Structure 1
Amino acid sequence: MRYLKKRRYAVGGGNQTRPMASDPMDGVANLFDIGLVFIVGLIVTLFSTYRLHDLFNEESEMTIVKKNKNGEMEIITKSKRKIEALKVSKTMGEGEGHRMGVAYRLEDGSMVYVPDGNEAGRTGPRE
C-alpha cells in the first residue's frame, strides 16, 4: 500500500529530504470521503435492486402492497404525479355489485380468472 505512505516535502529553502509534518486528521478526512462514496453506492444499488427509480419518473404508474407484523395491509398507488396510500381493513366491503366471473386457485398456487359467458366480449359498464 505504497500510496498510503506518500511523503510531503517542504517547499522552499531548508532540508529537502525532511518530510513535512502532517496533520493526524488527514486520515480521518480520507475515511470520511470513502464512507460517503460507499453510502452513495449503497443507495444507488438499493434503488436499482428494488426498482425504485420508477418513483421519480413522472410518467410511470406503479402499485406497492405493504403488510406489517400485525397483518394490516397498505396499498400505495402512483399514477403519473399523484401518489395515494390506502389502508386496507379486515372488515368486509358492503354494497351492491354484479358478478363478473369466477377466480380459481390452481394446485401450483397461481390464480386464474374466468369471466362469465355473457361478459367475454363486453367492455363497457353493465346496464
Structure 2
Amino acid sequence: MPRRRFYEEEPDPSSLVSNLFDVAMVFAVALMVALVTKFNMTEVFSKEDYTIVKNPGTEQMEILIKKGDKVEKYTPSETSSEGDGSKGKRVGVAYQLESGEIIYVPEE
C-alpha cells in the first residue's frame, strides 16, 4: 500500500493583513454610526435646512446654518467684520415660555 503524503498549505501572510483591514473598516463605520446617534446629529445627513448653536452664551459660541448644500459658520464677537459677514455681535436675548412661545428682548 502506497504511502500518501499530506502537505499542509502554508498560510498566506497577506491574507491576515486583509482580514485586519476589513475588521478595522467595520469598527470605524460602527464608531461613526454610534457617534452620530449618541450626539443626535442625524439632521446633518438630511436634506432639510437647520441651524445649530454650539457653546451658547460663551465666548466660543458658533452658529452653523445649513441651507441646501451650503453650510455657513458665524462666530459672534464684539465687533462685526465688514468683509465676509462671518462675525456678528449679541443684540438681545430670546426666552421660550412653557407654552412654546418665544419672546425676544433686545439689548441697548
Fold-level match, TM-score > 0.5? yes
TM-score, normalization by structure 1: 0.50
- Runs of 4+ aligned residues of structure 1 deviating over 6 Å after TM superposition are none
Which residue, 54, 60, 64 being the options, matches 1:66? 54
The answer as to whether partners of 2:78 and 2:90 remain within 8 angstroms in 1 is: no
Residues 87-126 of structure 1 aligned to structure 2 (within 5 Å): 87-90=75-78, 112=97
1:1-127 mapped onto 2 (5 Å cutoff):
15=5, 17-58=6-47, 60-67=48-55, 71-90=59-78, 112=97
Aligned to 1:41, what secondary structure does the other structure show? helix
Greater C-alpha radius of gyration: 1
Identity %: 31
Residue deviations 1:72-91 (CA, integer Å, cap 9, x gap): 32111224444322111145
- Contiguous gaps of at least 5 residues in structure 2: 80-88, 104-108
Equivalent residue pairs, number: 84
Q: Unpaired segments of 5 or more residues in structure 1?
A: 1-13, 95-101, 104-110, 116-127
